[in-house]
Amino acid sequence: MPNPVTIQDVKVILTQPGKSRLCIVKVITSEPGLYGLGCATFTQRIFAVAAAIERHLRPFLLGRDVDRIEEIWNMSMVHGYWRNGPVLNNAISGVDQALWDIKGKRAGMSVCDLLGGKSRQAAHVYVHADGRDKQEVAENARAFMEQGYRFIRVQMGGYGGQGSPMVKPRQAPAGAYFDPRHYCRQMLDMIAYVREEVGEAIELLHDVHERLAPIHAVEFAKDVERFKLFFLEDALAPEDIAWFRHIRRQCATPLAMGELFNNPHEWQLLIQERLIDFIRMHISQMGGITPARNVAIFADMYGIRTAWHGPSDTSPVGHAANLQLDLWHPNFGVQEWYRPSELDYEIFPGLPVVEEGYLYPNCKPGLGIDINESLAAKYPCQEIVEQWTQTRLPDGSPARP
């Protein structure tokens, strides 16, 4: 029996070619030239993830058989005893995705084919149309339509809106202020305007970004029902998921949830009780391809579709992993797409491309993506303190971002 291919080294690659700090894991094997890539991007705590990989996972993984993906995932999750947190999950994800990449390369097959083969040739994507006012949002949405996109998320003024007539207390601290009630009125007016402008054939989406009190989220979901959204995203925070029962009882607005989820108990209830329509975890946040595969199968049993998280703080490697899952599972809904820069394509050869609103894979084995490490090194991660997550209500009290 031939000797197994083992993990010879685990390398962390940090890079920031755009606004988001990215963490890529490179698992190097005992077979010359064979390695795999995975996404471990938790951009707001990027250095904590890097330390978890380098100081804890790497020593634990050296010498292990690369084929034993299930064993490695499960043992990595419990090895630190405390589990289901975003730093550890992202660290494990980077290794997990890299091992799937390696297995595909060894087999000469894509990850999609390893999982069971294609259910579709390409994946529908949605893009983000923002704007300073409703007219600009509609204009940007029409521009995307001309490029062939048929699923468009509409926002105005970023998350939480902008321009509310806000009176702050004296000596109010600095922060990203927003008024939830003004946001509700403003967004309803914007969505009504955009729907009138683009017609019924285009699928519109909107992201609340968990910024509303639960009862106001229920009210907002009822109010947008008439606009026939493809889905309303993150109407509630993970801490408030029991409120989805109230939304479900009162309206038929399709609901998507999950990008902040870490723990299986957060998604199991929503799926089993059919309280949402789309499950949309951040693949690295939940621990990688292995748990995402399991969730997709579980959700399919209850008629719930997937819409994996795919903003710019999912790395190009993570987007490649998303696409492999999208192509495979039958209950795919739509994929969020961040529209990579030319630099992204230079640093990450094999990054999937969009044509007429569909995201297409290439014919390469594994995840089908690589990294130009010398070019990535020219764009080091910046030491920054996030501003947009320092969110406040009009009276200055902290709020969810």
Q: What is the DSSP string of 323-335?
A: HHHHHH-TTB--E
* Options 35, 126, 149, 159, the catalytic residue: 159
Q: What is the predicted pLDDT for the residue at 161?
A: 80
Q: What is the predicted pLDDT for the residue at 5?
A: 97
Write out residues in the chain with pLDDT < 50, as ranges.
Answer: none
Q: What is the predicted pLDDT for the residue at 167?
A: 87
Q: Is 128 a catalytic residue?
A: no
* Nearest alpha-carbon partner for 12 in 47, 63, 59, 61: 47
Distances (CA, A) of 62 to 3, 118, 359: 15, 33, 36
Tell me whether residue 153 is exposed, middle or buried, using C-beta atoms within 10 angstroms of its C-beta: 0 to 12, 13 to 18, 19 or more.
Answer: buried
CA 17/CA 20 separation, integer angstroms = 8
Q: What is the predicted pLDDT for the residue at 159?
A: 85
CA 14/CA 41 separation, integer angstroms = 9
Question: How many CB atoms sit inside 10 A of residue 51's CB?
Answer: 14
For helices 134-146 and 180-198, the axis angle rounded to 10 degrees is: 40
* Options 124, 128, 206, 209, the catalytic residue: 209
Q: What is the predicted pLDDT for the residue at 3?
A: 86
| Count of residues in the chain | 401
Residue with tokens 């230079």: 346
The SS3 assignment for 87 reads helix
CA 141/CA 134 separation, integer angstroms = 10
Q: Is 209 a catalytic residue?
A: yes
Q: What is the predicted pLDDT for the residue at 202?
A: 97
Superfamily for domain range 116-363: Enolase-like C-terminal domain (3.20.20.120)
Q: In whole angstroms, what separates CA 216 from the centre of its chain?
A: 25
Q: What is the predicted pLDDT for the residue at 7?
A: 98
Helices (H), 214-315: 214-223, 244-250, 264-272, 283-286, 289-300
Q: What is the predicted pLDDT for the residue at 160?
A: 79
pLDDT in tens, 161-182: 876 778 889 998 988 899 999 9
Rg (CA), the chain: 21
pLDDT in tens, 79-130: 999 999 999 999 999 999 999 999 999 999 999 999 999 999 999 999 999 9
Q: What is the predicted pLDDT for the residue at 166?
A: 83
